[in-house]
Amino acid sequence: MKHKAFTANKKVTIQVLEGDYQGYYASRIEDINDNTLLLALPFIGVVPVPIGVGTRVAVFSPSKDAVYRIEGEVTKRQIEPLPILFIVTDERVSRVQRRENVRIPITLSVIYTLKGDDRVYEAYTKDISGGGTKIVLLEPLKIRDIIQLRITLPPPEPSISTEGEVVWVEIVEDLVNNKTRKTIYAGIRFINIEDKERERLVRFIFNYQRNLLKKGWRYD
């Protein structure tokens, strides 16, 4: 099997598709022999996940342009000298998502200013991708408004600063304690973002996504 996203020493995510251990687990490609992937056996703490021979799995691998997926079947489970899963693949690699469009649910602090206005506003994200973000606002914005925003990433990552365009606005009303509460959402498309800033954001998203997958989060 030859594909740019599936190479030795590449970090990947295994999805167990059936059985008692269905879910997502972090792994690494140890080697590739023809149509067989040799993957590091995933662990929960210090205990190896008992993925049995005959189990159907999918393997997700991010590359520079997209996330790719391949399915296969576990044909061997080795503990010594290295804990490895042998997976015979179907050799049909499919692209799941464009890399910059991988979107994760996460709450991050945002401050922004309207173009031509010095006032500073606060908001927070509901989700984010390399191409944009969904934010919750205290003050309404208008579609096509241009804003300068700074998004605070978890330490030790520095903040992301970029310009964004409002592409949609939604006001949701909820009844809380017999009172109507309005929540203002806006979709922001990043514009004029520096390549190094986008790459840093995408790298953060993939690392964060890997942790979500280990906890059982699924793709939409």
**110 belongs to a structural domain:** yes
Whether residue 203 is found in the same domain as residue 123 = yes
| pLDDT value at residue 100 | 57
Give me the number of domains the chain comprises.
2
| Contact indicator for 60, 39 with CB cutoff of 8 Å | no
pLDDT at 135: 94
Reduced to 3 states (helix: H, G, I; strand: E, B; else coil), residue 179 is: strand
* Last residue of one domain, picked from the residues 98, 126, 143: 98
As given in the structure block, the two tokens for residue 58 are 């999918």
Mind listing the pLDDT tens digit of every residue in the chain (220 residues)?
678 778 888 888 888 888 878 877 888 899 998 889 899 998 877 788 888 899 999 998 877 667 788 899 999 998 888 889 999 988 788 877 665 567 788 999 999 999 888 899 999 999 998 889 999 998 889 999 999 999 999 888 899 999 999 999 998 877 777 777 788 999 999 998 887 888 788 888 877 877 776 666 555 4
Any domain includes 42: yes
* Domain's final residue, options 48, 66, 98: 98
pLDDT score of 180:
79
Same domain, 128 and 85: no
On whether both 126 and 65 belong to a single domain, the answer is: no
Which run of H or of E encompasses 210?
helix 195-214
Amino acid at 191: I
Among 53, 81, 98, the domain-final residue is 98
Does one domain contain both 110 and 171?
A: yes
pTM above 0.85, yes or no: no
pLDDT recorded at residue 97: 63
CATH number at residue 72: 2.30.110.10
- pLDDT of amino acid 174: 76
For position 169, what pLDDT does the model report? 92
93 and 119 both lie in a single domain: no
Between CA 136 and CA 123 the distance in angstroms is 6
* CA gap 183, 169 in Å, rounded: 11
Rounded CA separation 121/148 (Å): 10
The domain of 187 spans: 104-211
CA-CA-CA-CA torsion sign (213, 8, 5, 56): negative
Per-residue confidence (pLDDT) for residue 25, from 0 to 100: 82
